[in-house]
Each structure stands twice: as C-alpha cells, then as structure tokens.
C-alpha cells in the first residue's frame, strides 16, 4: 500500500496523469492526499475533478483557495479573475455533480502522523483546535448555509484569531488561515498580501511555521499554496507546491516509516504568469 501527498495540481491533468503513472498508483491499493488547489489557472480543471472523483476514497482531497473560488464563481457570488481557467467546469454538463463533490472535500486532514492543510496553521492553534475549526467550515460548506457563507467568505479582516469570534468573521479567519496563510506575526496577525519567498516577509512578520511558540511545532504539517517556497522538508513541515502551473513540477511525496519519505516529481508544460 502506497501513501502519497501531492501538491497543487491547479487544473493540470496531463502532468497529474503522468505523475500517477510514475508512482504506479492503483486506487484499489494506494491512497493519494491532494493538498488543495485542484483547479484553476491550468487548462483541464474539469478533467482533474473527473479523474479524482473516479478514484473514490483512494483520493483524499483538501480545499484550497482556488477551489473555494470556483464554488463562489459558480454560485454567482464572485466575478471570475481575468486569469481564471474554470470554464471547463462551469460550462460542463456534469458541472453540478463536480461542484457537489467539491463542497464535500475537507479543510484539514490528520492521517499517518501528518496534519495536512492547504495554506497554514495559526500559532495559537494546537492540532485538536485546528481540526475542530476546519470541521466548522466543512459543515457550513455541506449545509444549507453554503451560499451565505460564500457571499461573506472574502476579505482580510479580522486579521487575527480570537476564540470569541462568531459568524462570518469566525469562518473567514479560519478559511484565510487554512487556505491563504504564508506570513504572520508572533501574535498570529496574518499578512495575506505578501506572496514571495522566505526573505520577502513584511517587517514584523515571519513564515507561519517559524513563529516561536507555535502550538503545532511538534506536529508534522504538510501544505501547498506557496509556489515561491517550493519543496521543503523538515521534521515539522513538508511544503509541496512546486509551481506546476507556473512551469515547474508537480510533486508527490511517498510517506515512509520514521520520516523516510521519497520525493517524486513530474515536469509540467503549463506556464502562467505567477500569482495566487
């Protein structure tokens, strides 16, 4: 049985197919964990979704910011960005089935000793709280409040977590942390605009995983979202967005015992102007 983490696919189905062939993936035997941003900016978002839905429980998928954007656009709550490439889903005869599947994906997964998110985890959250807060968003996405949630999901405020937050503000902070976070202050105030590498942190801010006293410091957290960071592996973090859609690679990490993981990559022919 093979267990694999896979970084941001972003609608690049052909590289995904080649990567899965390279790792000899069999849905009846193996499990793949995709770290979000399944769709958008690449040319074949619908093909990616159809492929993953066909694998059933063998493909465990997180929601990233681009996946949530697709849901918002599909419900008429957000105008498409000029660089969006989601029409293959939006105009598809099976669009409703793909969107219904998407809204039932996870915001965080803890399995095989790894906490998986798309963006990051705020320093005040321990493992149990991160999973509990992710579950709040998941329940909202799957429930009757979906449209109201998507209508109020966007925005950078509040910039900091507080246990007393309620309603749309509470859910917005959770979503921003789990799908958009790169830099924050030691107190957990998020900067959601900076998108460069480690040296590009705004003054007073740190990469979220380097904040002193982070409550999940003893966990191993795997994430995507940060293509300018690229692949990084430490005992506490695994970064797997290697810029497939920007002309880089699509990366899979085969999980082995006691951190003996194997990196497998597939070059992507897709090249876009870098962005979120």
When pLDDT is averaged across residues 166-179 and rounded to a whole number, the result is 98
pLDDT at 259: 76
200: pLDDT strictly greater than 80: yes
> Is a pLDDT exceeding 90 seen at residue 269?
no
Q: What is the pLDDT of residue 257?
A: 87
H-assigned helices in the chain? 13-22, 45-54, 65-74, 87-90, 95-103, 127-142, 146-151, 167-180
Write down the pLDDT at residue 260. 86
How much is the mean pLDDT over the chain? 96
pLDDT at 262: 96
Domains of the chain (ranges; CATH) run: 3-267 (3.60.21.10)
What percentage of the chain carries pLDDT values higher than 90? 93
The pLDDT, as a whole number, for residue 270 is 64
Q: pTM of the predicted model, to two decimals?
A: 0.96
Phi and psi, residue 138, nearest 5° = -60, -45
Longest dimension (CA), the chain: 50
pLDDT band of residue 212 (cuts 50, 70, 90) is: very high
On whether the CB atoms of residues 257 and 40 are closer than 8 A, the answer is: no
Cα–Cα distance measured from residue 116 to residue 210, given in angstroms and rounded to the nearest whole number: 17
CA 42 to chain centre: 15
Res 275 pLDDT > 60: no
Contact 39, 67 (CB under 8 A): yes
pLDDT at 276 over 90: no
């Amino acid at each position: 049985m093979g267990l694999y983490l896979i970084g941001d696919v972003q609608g690049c189905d052909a590289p995904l197919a080649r990567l899965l062939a390279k790792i000899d993936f069999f849905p009846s035997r193996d499990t793949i964990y995709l770290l979000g941003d399944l769709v958008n900016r690449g040319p074949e978002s619908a093909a990616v979704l159809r492929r993953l839905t066909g694998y059933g429980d063998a493909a465990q998928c997180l929601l990233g910011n681009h996946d949530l954007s697709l849901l918002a656009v599909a419900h008429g709550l957000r105008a498409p960005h000029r660089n969006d490439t989601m029409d293959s889903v939006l105009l598809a005869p099976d669009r409703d089935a793909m969107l219904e599947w998407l809204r039932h994906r996870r915001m965080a997964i803890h399995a095989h000793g790894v906490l998986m998110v798309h963006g990051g985890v705020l320093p005040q959250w321990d493992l149990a709280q991160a999973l509990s807060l992710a579950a709040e968003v998941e329940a909202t996405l799957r429930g009757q409040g979906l449209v109201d949630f998507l209508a109020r999901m966007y925005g950078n405020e509040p910039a900091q977590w507080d246990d007393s937050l309620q309603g749309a503000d509470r859910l917005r902070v959770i979503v921003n942390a789990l799908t958009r976070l790169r830099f924050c202050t030691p107190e957990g105030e998020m900067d959601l605009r900076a998108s460069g590498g480690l040296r590009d942190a705004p003054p007073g801010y740190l990469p979220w995983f380097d904040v002193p006293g982070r409550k999940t410091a003893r966990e191993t957290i795997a994430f995507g979202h940060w293509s300018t960071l690229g692949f990084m592996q430490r005992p506490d973090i695994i970064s797997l967005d290697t810029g497939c859609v920007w002309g880089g690679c699509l990366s899979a990490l085969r999980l082995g015992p006691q951190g003996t993981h194997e990196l497998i990559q597939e070059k992507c022919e897709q090249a876009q102007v870098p962005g979120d």
